Chain A
Amino acid sequence: MRFMLLFSRQGKLRLQKWYMATAEREKKKMVRELMQIVLARKPKMCSFLEWRDLKIVYKRYASLYFCCAIEEQDNELITLEVIHRFVELLDKYFGSVCELDIIFNFEKAYFILDEFLMGGEIQDTSKKSVLKAIEQSDLLQEEDESPRSVLEEMGLA
């Protein structure tokens, strides 16, 4: 995988992970261009795009678009499932995830992603072990503000 983007329906970037060396300016240009293309597509359309020399696989979950860039010979369908597994992981970790969780705890989302994909390749396909690794690191967290309890108060959990 070359990169993964999460952005909202309003075109706000929520997460970006690049697995190829790209200059900052180029990144911005690519993100802008891709958001425009993906947001313009209608719901019933194909989840795959050919864009530049890459293949884009995207999927929308509620108000968030998950968007991956893969190479020509990679399997598009399995990439959709990579996205889905990532969503499942987020969901499990945050307890029914929503865009707010990702906005306010984006660094956690990054940690989960890093535990799931490493260097652009799937690292662990087992949901249990990904979450175990994350929780192990989290155990060290001092008892300060916990976003989770706040979510519970909001009635989201």
Chain B
Amino acid sequence: MSDVVEKTLTALPSLLSLDSQPGSAKLSSSSKLGALIRGITELTSKHEEEKLVQHELASLKDQVSSPNISMRQMKEAMVRAIYCEMLGYEASFSYIHAIKLAQQGSILDKRVGYLAVCLFLNENHELLLLLVNTVLKDLQSTNLIEVCMALTVVSQMFPKDMIPAILPLVEEKLNHSKEIIRRKAVLALYKFYLIAPNQVQHIHNKFRKALCDKDPGVMFASLHIYLQMIKDNPEGYKDLTASFVTILKQVVSGKLPMDFNYHSVPAPWLQIQLLRILSILGKNDQMSSEIMYDVLDESLKRAEINHNITYAILYECVKCIYTIYPNSDLLEKAAKCIGNFVISSKINLKYLGLKALTFVIQQDPKLALQHQMTIIECLDHPDIIIKRETLELLFRITNAQNVTVIVEKMLEFLHQSKDDHSTIDLVGKVAEIAEKYAPENKWFIETMNTVFSLGGDMIQPDIPNSFLKLLSEGFDSEEENQKLRLFAVDSYISLLEGEIKKLPQRFLQVISWVLGEYSHLRTDLDSARVITLLAKLLDMKQMSGETKTWVLMAMTKLCSGESSISIAQSVCDDYSSSMDTVLRQRAHELQLLSQDSALRGQLLTLHSGSEPLEVDSSLSFLDAFVSEALAAGAAPYKPPHQRQEELAQEKALSLEPYELSLPINMSSSSLTGRQSPTLMSVSSGLSGDSTELSLKGNTTILKLEGVKRVWGKEGYLSRKDPLEEVIQVENPSSPSQPTGTGGTPSDTPTPSATPEPEHGKQQLASSLFIGLGSQTSVFLMGKSDPTAQRIRRKVKTPNSSMAVTERGSVSSTSSAVDNLLCNNIPESANMVQEVTYETPPPYKTELDARLNEDLIDSTPSPVQSNGVETTSDKTESEITDKPRDECSSISLPAKLSGLPHSEVTSLCSNQTVELSACHVEKHDYVLLVIFISNSSDSDMENIHLQVISEQLEVSLLCESPLQDIAKHSMAVCQYLLNVRRPVVHFEVVGMLSYQTSSENQEVEFSYKLPLTSFVRPLEVSTEQYGTMWLAFSNDTKQNLALVTDGQDPLTDTLDLLKKKLGLHVVEIIGVEGIVACRLVQDQPCLLHCRVHGRTLAVWLRSPIPELPDCLLYHCQRVLEET
């Protein structure tokens, strides 16, 4: 701020008490608003203010609803109404008048009208519909100001459904002669893109025009859209990378008009926007990143003035440099920048420095070591925000050695924190790292106790769930499990004996479950004592019904022996007539159990052997029931989406008689039973403890359970009782099976962090940053990889069906690879031509080129030179010089080499490792083959490769997990992919962590496959097709372009689709054709095609809701390409 302004503003407070101001009377006397404001400032109490404002509102109401009011008076009244609303008083009577004012007023009144609408309503308000016509009219006005106002209101709020009505008009404004209109139109379209991206898809090429607009303001506005579009689909805009770089270069070197300078920095907003775009484009993309290096370097250099705005640019640069493909020179500079931020005396910069450090710490743990003393200081910073950010940083560098200190610091903060949001967040983080790195049982249980106590009832529900799951499933060592459970039992008993009033409900639920399950492990503990403690809980006033249920269930498990039974019975007497049906049900169960000793003997025996429960997810045992119900006239089951669709199709009136639907309702409710508390509690109550096995023969109970689990897609499962889930997965086991010792390192001493001046800090630093150097492993943020959290948990044996005959991982030495290579190259090149891709992966050429070099270098044999020819045809022009010593190259394992597969694509690489992948299409599945090639001079050890996908089921085909890769050699991992949810392009993401020369490293990668890789022909007869067609419910219709250059357009088109997508043409009859295909595991999709003039009307049906749309997309692509 300029000095003058600063001075004026600081002088102002003295002017502010209105009463003492001679000018204030004058200032306000001129208008009613002034009078109102003055009146309010003179008041002393809130009560008086309320009275005055209510009075004002009443008179306003009279005024605006009088028929004689002029628009000018209306405008004045509206301003007062806005003022009253700002003070927090509702003036909803004026909303409709605001709309009227915008509609009828002269230009100035209109402006106030629009303003009032923007302030009063939000975009979901129903009155907004009344504004649509006004906006339409103003958009067509010849008055620029009216057009501007309309565009402004549109970008502020507009009903989503009404966008199509005004879209053409807004679009037209992109060609307006005035830049201000073009700019506002672009921003309005940006807003549309945000709320309804599909509706502006067709104008993407116009956005390009806006990007090239001669006015920098319009170009800048278009960047908002581009940032958003690129975020949604980075692959689609790679071609613009160079353009964005050029723009940034021009901006940085000051080519824009001076108007755009801000404190003598050229267009900083523009720079930052471009940097954000570039960082997305350069992420995991070496080629794009390389284009940016120069301009990033330039930006870093230029931003040297000591002003906030340059720091803002620097910060964005740093983020960009760490996001894109790394460049060591830039990284070094960025690290220096972060350092300057962190040590800055300006608190805002310090905060951003910490934030940047948190951001980069995954890639550069050593940076934290450099700044450890600053970090320690920040930990005790008086500003809570700085402290909080520091803890975030520590959370990211937690490992097994520093976990105790970090958790201690976090808990310290939690004790002081009053803000719910950060408490919940931090409690979750403590729980996460405690579970992951706990050095010993006692510590873990105590930490979790604090977590539960501090987190209270706001705690994320998955924390108690996963804690109980951990207790019940345990680690690899059974002995450790028992110890942990014992600790928990001991600790909870002593808690219950102490002050119980302050324990939160969630914690009490955890306690009751653990005591119910495991208190028998402590043999010297009398169950009567536990039951007494539990009964005491029930007497507390603030106990929720849910917690009481947990307690009763725990009692059910413990009820044995004379004294316990008598306590249980008195409890039952209290609750067997409870108004809460679930509670009452539990009480009755407990009562029954306590009275019948034979039943007890049968149910409450401890099982030593633990077999996993078998869950029949297909619910085949219900088949008889279903067919019976169907025979009795019940309607067949329809999945929710289908029901919804039908609901949407049926308009308001239902003409069907009611009694038809009645039996359906009844049958479905008794079938699912999940709404009924009695049935629910029977199933979960009896499934508690070790009763499942003995009750397995009793089908009624199992049935109910199965129903609940599978059909509870919405409704019930979402609010499922955490206990039930836990119970269903747990395997009761006795302490008689020690299977080995020590899954947890328990020898780490807990360093005390006494705040003795310098020495204390040093000590703290060494305990916090231990394990960050090169010697030990760094476990990086558990946030991004949910599976890593279960790192210590028992690894479940993979489903037997996955163990297909394929050999899992093949490591081969370089010579073997060379041999394979000679055979494979020509073949794979041929295959590649068969499998078509929309977007050729960017690195294939480079890899091919490297393959070439290898082949040329080695002694050429006839076969080899043949291979060279084939590949070099494709890549000649793009061979890049890569002076790397290549010792290993890439080929498919022999068994797969004959199958159709994609090109081998490089995923990522660094100094030590190169990752590449391809996918192989087999008849009923798709294999993802990942090649890990170690190009360094040292061996890679402790390899952990993790591959996941949102839309695909990924399972490792492997006999033994991959461990090490010797230097200059390669390993191959194969993953079986199955479709979980169809999308147009599937994305698989993965992370490889490994050790080289005892240094931990990690690389992340992603791989894309089109849906077409999963499409297989479905060979059915016309009759079968007919029955299937009727059975499928999800359909989509669309007109496609016909291939018209041949004799018979329909046959040509279908043949093309057959060839490119692997569809099966069932029959062609006249102008109609029927086509069928399936996704690898029997997810069929049927196409019905009919020629209409020059277009082909295609109608797709499938049982999978998403499939028709996705398949249609690919059909469209194929036909457009020709």
Contacts and interface: CB of A to CB of B under 8 A. Distances in A.
Contacts of B31: 145
Contact of B15 (A9, A17, A100, A140): A100
Given A13-B86, A123-B183, A19 B156 contact: yes
Interface string A101-142: 001101100110010001101111111110001001100111
B82 interface: yes
B347 A45 contact: yes
Contact of B27 (A97, A126, A154): A154
B710 interface: no
A143 interface: no
A77 B309 contact: yes
A46 to B, nearest CB: 5
A48 to B, nearest CB: 6
Interface stretch (B267-275, B602-610, B723-731, B1052-1060): B267-275
Nearest to B125: A21
A81 B348 CA distance: 13
Nearest to A132: B180
B383 interface: yes
B86 A123 contact: no
Given A100-B27, A119-B155, A77 B88 contact: no
A125 B270 contact: yes
A80 interface: yes
B385 A96 contact: no
B863 interface: no
Given A88-B1, A99-B12, A125-B220, A81 B270 contact: no
Given A61-B9, A62-B13, A96-B4, A81 B115 contact: no
B112 A107 contact: yes
B259 A128 contact: yes
Interface string A140-154: 111001010010011
Interface string B181-200: 00110011011000000000
Contacts of B2: 88
A18 B23 contact: no
Contact of B115 (A21, A78, A107, A125): A107
A20 B733 CA distance: 54
A133 B148 contact: yes
Contacts of B152: 114, 118
Given A96-B5, A106-B86, A136 B347 contact: no
A150 B267 CA distance: 36
Given A77-B311, A126-B260, A129-B180, A99 B145 contact: no
A90 to B, nearest CB: 10
Contacts of A99: 12, 16
| Contact-residue size bin, chain A (C-beta under 8 Å from the other chain) | 35 or more
Given A50-B388, A136-B145, 5 more contacts: A14-B86, A81-B308, A88-B2, A100-B16, A150-B27
B348 A141 contact: no
Interface stretch (B116-124, B624-632, B848-856): B116-124
Interface in A45-81: 45-53, 61-63, 75-78, 80-81
Contact of B315 (A77, A97, A147): A77
B15 A98 contact: yes
A137 B1046 CA distance: 62
Nearest to A124: B217
B421 A52 contact: yes
Contacts of B20: none
Contacts of B421: 50-53
A75 B272 contact: yes
6 contacts: A46-B385, A52-B421, A77-B308, A98-B12, A99-B16, A150-B27
B288 to A, nearest CB: 20
A116 to B, nearest CB: 11
Q: Which 10 A-B pairs have the closest CB atoms?
A: A77-B312, A62-B9, A119-B155, A154-B23, A126-B259, A96-B8, A78-B312, A21-B122, A119-B191, A98-B12
Nearest to A8: B16
A134 B101 CA distance: 20
Contacts of A51: 419, 421
| Contact-residue size bin, chain B (C-beta under 8 Å from the other chain) | 35 or more
Contacts of A106: 82-83, 86
A87 interface: yes
Contacts of A63: 12-13, 16
A16 B88 CA distance: 11
A60 to B, nearest CB: 10
Contacts of A50: 385, 388, 421-422
B701 to A, nearest CB: 43
A104 B122 contact: no
B351 A23 contact: no
A51 B388 CA distance: 12
A49 B385 contact: yes
B5 A121 contact: no
A21 B157 contact: yes
Contacts of B385: 45-46, 48-50
A129 B23 contact: no
Most buried by A among B16, B83, B87, B115: B16
Contact of A125 (B4, B13, B267): B267
Interface string B297-316: 00000000000110110011
B1006 to A, nearest CB: 19
A108 B703 CA distance: 69
A103 to B, nearest CB: 6
A62 B316 CA distance: 30
A23 B262 contact: no
A59 B1 CA distance: 12
Contacts of B190: 119, 121
Contacts of B260: 125-126
Interface string B990-1013: 000000000000000000000000
B260 to A, nearest CB: 5
B763 to A, nearest CB: 28
A73 B220 CA distance: 19
B1048 to A, nearest CB: 52
Given A87-B1, A125-B262, A125-B269, A24 B90 contact: yes
A114 B122 CA distance: 16
B122 A84 contact: no
A2 interface: no
A81 B268 contact: yes
Contacts of B308: 77, 80-81
Contacts of B311: 77
Contacts of B184: 118, 123
Most buried by B among A13, A50, A85: A50
A150 B220 contact: no
Contacts of B118: 114
A84 B221 contact: no
B187 A123 contact: yes
Interface string B98-142: 000000000110011001001100111000000000000000000
Contacts of B382: 45
Given A46-B386, A76-B352, A118 B187 contact: yes
Contacts of A13: 86-88
